[in-house]
Amino acid sequence: MKIIILILATTFFSQVYASVYTPKQKQLPGVGLEKDSYAIKGSCIEEDIHNLTYGMGSDIKISVLNGLNILDIRNTFSSFGEGKVDIGRMLYGKEKISLNEGLSTDDVTYNSFYELSLNYPSASLSNPILTEKGKEALSISPLAIREICGNYVIRSYQLGFKFFISLKATFSNSKIKKEFHEKINIGSLWNALTEDKMQIEASEEIKKNTIISLNAYQYGGDPSKLEDIIYKNSEILKGCTLDNFGPCVKAYKDIVEYKKENTLDNNGLFNQMNNGKYSLDPNKGPAVIAYGISRYAHIGYFDLDTNDIKFENRAKYYEMLFALENLLNEYEDHTIKLNRIKFLQNNANTTLRPNQDESIKFTDFAKIISENIRILNNAIEQCKNYDNNCVKNSEYVLKNLQECDGKPCSKVPLEISTK
């Protein structure tokens, strides 16, 4: 999967990102997986792309979501069917963190985002055939089948796209965040965008200690088309502040026009979707929103079904899964803290930079957090490779991470004094 994050505005008050989730390589239904361990296996059955069966109907959802934390955001991607697999963890891994952070809210930020989701009819296997890999596995042993083909198979793809417009407020500390909610709130900013307001009424203290970021995220279609919209507005957005909100309004209008279903622009979002049909081209057609998975026996391949085999280490799959999840959560929390430090230390608005003492402290924290991230990353890779020492090592790593000023680094508030 490719994630593109473009920071295009140089002023601290308004920054625009174009973030796009695109799988590195699309695959047809028929790919095997080990359901309990996230491991993608080989394609032991397959079907020509033109023979896929499409379900009936489609549905569209439009919503505005406010103040969601990272756990809520993670639920954006999940599979359906006989088993549930966290597709975000399984296929996107650590790279998915950028979207989590981009849409989530914490102690010193508040995020409100518009979501447009469209689910096209799902594409399913209709009459799959055995591949050479599948024949090879059957010629060896049941254990080889499990290792090569996995114990479940992806039998269908839920196709569609997701499009987000995010309006995020970042504050110097929690006190300013509270004042912002009491005197302005995020809803007034959405109103300003839609009503063409050129400035936001706010106290000087709030103006100096609040950053408003306009962000756009696309999942599905052609990423470069959204990038073109962002680039077109990059120069004017450099002048967007709470006192001069017009450039944000202009950029917002262009983004809204881009995602309209009836836009005359051939590069618009809906015009990228290949009429809802699956495509192996990663920049064409809808994205895979979710996978439908089932046992091989339930699609007629009983000889490939190994779910009744008793593995001596089957319990270890669950232990490794739990250990990996804990490591990924801690890695994500550390990454957010490190990005917060960089955000405060390097922004163009001098009134929102840490004072000298805070800057020295944050620099020290950044070194510690970076080292913790390195250690966590090594432990994550060990678990992803199903190393027998995964569980033991993850427990040791999580227990012995360096602290920041006597506190777990992932829990340090990183607030700065108002000026």
One-letter amino acid identity for 145? Answer: I
Instruction: Output the CA angle 162-165-166, nearest 5 degrees.
Output: 120
Parent domain of 292: 2-304
Could you give the number of structural domains in the chain? 2
CA atoms of 53 and 328, how far apart (whole Å): 36
Task: Tell me, yes or no, whether 419 lies in a domain.
Answer: no
Does position 15 have pLDDT exceeding 50, yes or no?
Answer: no
Which of 84-98, 220-234, 338-352 is predicted with the least confidence, judged by mean pLDDT? 84-98
CA atoms of 11 and 234, how far apart (whole Å): 11
Residue-wise pLDDT for 126-144, tens only, equals 889 999 999 999 999 888 8
What are the Cα distances from residue 265, in Å, to 253, 258, 261, 281?
14, 8, 10, 21
Asked which of 253, 270, 304 is the last residue of a domain, the reply is 304
Terminal CA-CA length for the chain: 42
- Give yes or no: residues 372 and 295 share one domain: no
- Give yes or no: residues 152 and 230 share one domain: yes
- Give yes or no: residues 368 and 318 share one domain: yes
pLDDT of residue 364: 96
Which of 34-43, 68-77, 259-268, 331-340 is predicted with the least confidence, judged by mean pLDDT? 68-77
pLDDT of residue 97: 44
- Give yes or no: residues 278 and 389 share one domain: no
Does position 66 have pLDDT exceeding 80, yes or no?
Answer: yes
Which two structure tokens, joined as six digits, stand for 77?
A: 């991607």
pLDDT of residue 2: 29
What is the number of residues in the chain? 419
Which two structure tokens, joined as six digits, stand for 43?
A: 């394609």
Task: Tell me, yes or no, whether 417 lies in a domain.
Answer: no
Task: Compare 217 and 237 and report the one with higher pLDDT.
Answer: 217
% of the chain at pLDDT higher than 90: 23
Does position 233 have pLDDT exceeding 80, yes or no?
Answer: no
Asked which of 304, 331, 358 is the last residue of a domain, the reply is 304
Does position 327 have pLDDT exceeding 90, yes or no?
Answer: yes
pLDDT of residue 52: 84
In which residue are the tokens 């992806």 written?
Answer: 154
Q: Taking residues 327-355, what's their average pLDDT?
A: 87
What are the Cα distances from residue 352, in Å, to 6, 226, 247, 317?
22, 30, 22, 47
pLDDT of residue 98: 58
- Give yes or no: residues 344 and 265 share one domain: no
- Give yes or no: residues 100 and 173 share one domain: yes
Element (H, E) at 289: strand 287-294
Task: Tell me, yes or no, whether 200 lies in a domain.
Answer: yes
Does position 393 have pLDDT exceeding 90, yes or no?
Answer: yes
- Give yes or no: residues 239 and 371 share one domain: no
- Give yes or no: residues 335 and 300 share one domain: no
pLDDT of residue 379: 93
Q: What are phi and psi of 197, to 5 degrees?
A: -75, 140
Task: Tell me, yes or no, whether 416 lies in a domain.
Answer: no
pLDDT of residue 80: 37
- Give yes or no: residues 325 and 290 share one domain: no
pLDDT band at residue 87 under the 50/70/90 scheme: very low
pLDDT of residue 418: 77
Q: Taking residues 336-347, what's their average pLDDT?
A: 89
What are the Cα distances from residue 369, in Å, to 229, 365, 397, 402, 407?
35, 6, 13, 8, 12
Asked which of 304, 333, 366 is the last residue of a domain, the reply is 304
Task: Compare 256 and 81 and report the one with higher pLDDT.
Answer: 256
pLDDT band at residue 17 under the 50/70/90 scheme: very low
Average pLDDT, the chain: 79
Which two structure tokens, joined as six digits, stand for 39?
A: 């491991």
Residue-wise pLDDT for 144-158, tens only, equals 898 899 988 888 888
Task: Tell me, yes or no, whether 27 lies in a domain.
Answer: yes
Which of 83-87, 121-125, 349-353 is predicted with the least confidence, judged by mean pLDDT? 83-87
Does position 260 have pLDDT exceeding 80, yes or no?
Answer: yes
Does position 176 have pLDDT exceeding 80, yes or no?
Answer: yes
- Give yes or no: residues 281 and 323 share one domain: no
Does position 274 have pLDDT exceeding 50, yes or no?
Answer: yes
pLDDT of residue 75: 64
- Give yes or no: residues 263 and 380 share one domain: no
The alpha-helical segments, DSSP class H, found in 75-203 are: 87, 97-103, 132-138, 142-149, 174-183, 186-194
- Give yes or no: residues 263 and 378 share one domain: no
Nearest to 66 by CA among 186, 236, 182: 186
Does position 239 have pLDDT exceeding 90, yes or no?
Answer: no
Element (H, E) at 376: helix 356-384
Task: Tell me, yes or no, whether 242 lies in a domain.
Answer: yes
